[in-house]
Amino acid sequence: MKNFPLVSIITPTYNHEKYIIDCIKSVQAQTYTHWEMIIVNDGSTDRTKEVTEAFIKKDSRIKVISQENIGIFRLADTYNKALAISSGKYISILEGDDMWVAEKLDRQVDILEKNENVILAWGKTDKLTNDLSKSIGCNPDMDPEKVKYYNNKPIGSILNLLLLENHVTSLTITIRKSTLLSIGGFQQGFNLPTVDIPTLLKLAVLGEFYFDKELLSKWRISNNQVTKTYPVELIKGQFDLSLFHYENLDKEIVSNLFISKKIIINHFNNRIQIAYARSGRYKLLRKQYKEARRDYLKAIFYKGFHNQDWRFRAIIGYVFSLFRKDVEGISKMLGKDSYRK
């Protein structure tokens, strides 16, 4: 394997007993075989530890680290613990409930080996219902006005997207380890329960990205994911992060961006309001009626709100919460996607 660089796969997992086998098997099925998989079990209370450790006996490329639960607001510590013991030239990310297609690593290693200017490779993912029975769309958005920035050429141009919204799906990412170490490893902060966007913002000014238009992964969507359990906190954290990052960018980078501080502020005010409406809806599904009403009221009266469709949704949700009902039935009648997935 001398001519095949090692890829270190970092897999944080918590209570993924039902899914981790599919995740590991998707790695074992890779056509590119020179990898190590470092699974960090964050104090799972189900059988995740036992399930993952069973693989060690059969595949020496798999390592399992078990730690006391520190949670998603210290996710960078979990990722960087794995990074510290990794041996690979490249670092890939795959959380314990997601999967890859068989050619994923092969395609990305080939690109990274042939293009020294590329520091990060990523691509399309298929979003699936929790039981994998149905596709609910692909990420990222293939709008040509967005796709033109996906390769980050010229360097820093993808910030036109990342400072507003993250289009780079983390489970498709492979990064040069040397570049990742140069920024101090995985980043977090700003009360964000995620490491992807803080890390990407720092990497965006260091080199080109490569976007693969082929499907690379399968993303299991569930009601327990960060984007659904912390929708408001996530958007507010991104708002603070984006403003901080924009204000500390090199002037030359800023001069080549089309977005401005004003655009960032207006964008996130609108997203926060929508996030409150979505948060209310997720809380209705969890039968947290009082908390749902609180979020719906914030969505209705939040500053700078101009989207009357979301205002109407929030009003409907508030009324339904008074009767201790969710809104999935009426949403289906109106042709909207159900949140019960």
What are the pLDDT digits (tens) for 31-88? Answer: 999 999 999 999 999 999 999 999 999 999 999 999 999 999 999 999 999 999 999 9
The whole domain housing 88 covers 7-222
Q: For residue range 163-209, what is the model confidence (pLDDT) as tens digits?
A: 999 999 999 999 999 999 999 999 999 999 999 999 999 999 999 99
236 in the same domain as 217: no
Please report whether residue 45 resides in a domain: yes
104 in the same domain as 78: yes
**Residue 131, domain CATH:** 3.90.550.10
113 in the same domain as 55: yes
163 in the same domain as 279: no
User: For residues 251 and 257, is the Cβ–Cβ distance under 8 A?
Assistant: no
Q: From residue 243, give the alpha-carbon distance in Å to each of 29, 50, 262.
A: 42, 43, 10
Query: How far apart are alpha carbons 159 and 163 in whole angstroms?
Result: 5
Give the pairing type, strands 35-42 and 62-67.
Answer: parallel
- Copy the structure tokens of residue 246: 């924009």
Please report whether residue 242 resides in a domain: yes
Domain count, the chain: 2
Give the mean pLDDT of the chain: 92
The residue whose two tokens read 């979003």 is 127
Please report whether residue 339 resides in a domain: no
Query: How far apart are alpha carbons 1 and 3 in whole angstroms?
Result: 6
Domain final residue, candidates 222, 249, 268: 222
Q: What is the predicted pLDDT for the residue at 305?
A: 54
Q: Is the pLDDT score of 12 beyond 70? A: yes
Q: What is the predicted pLDDT for the residue at 154?
A: 96
Please report whether residue 340 resides in a domain: no
Please report whether residue 319 resides in a domain: yes
Phi-psi region of 69 (alpha: psi -120 to 50; beta: other; left: phi over 0): beta
Q: Is the pLDDT score of 99 beyond 60? A: yes
* DSSP, residue by residue, 59-76: -TTEEEEEE----GGGHH
Q: What's the chain's length in residues?
A: 341
Q: For residue range 218-251, what is the model confidence (pLDDT) as tens digits?
A: 998 875 556 666 778 889 999 999 999 999 999 9
Burial of 27 (0-12, 13-18, 19+ CB in 10 A): buried
Domain final residue, candidates 196, 222, 248: 222
Phi-psi region of 259 (alpha: psi -120 to 50; beta: other; left: phi over 0): beta
Q: What is the value of pTM for the model shown?
A: 0.88
193 in the same domain as 169: yes
Q: What is the predicted pLDDT for the residue at 327?
A: 86
Amino acid at the residue 139: N
Domain final residue, candidates 222, 244, 264: 222
Q: Is the pLDDT score of 1 beyond 70? A: no
Query: How far apart are alpha carbons 20 and 124 in whole angstroms?
Result: 21
DSSP state of 286: T
Q: Is the pLDDT score of 20 beyond 70? A: yes
188 in the same domain as 117: yes
The residues pairing with 210 across neighbouring beta strands, listed in sequence order, are 121
317 in the same domain as 236: yes
Please report whether residue 338 resides in a domain: no
115 in the same domain as 241: no
Q: Is the pLDDT score of 17 beyond 80? A: yes
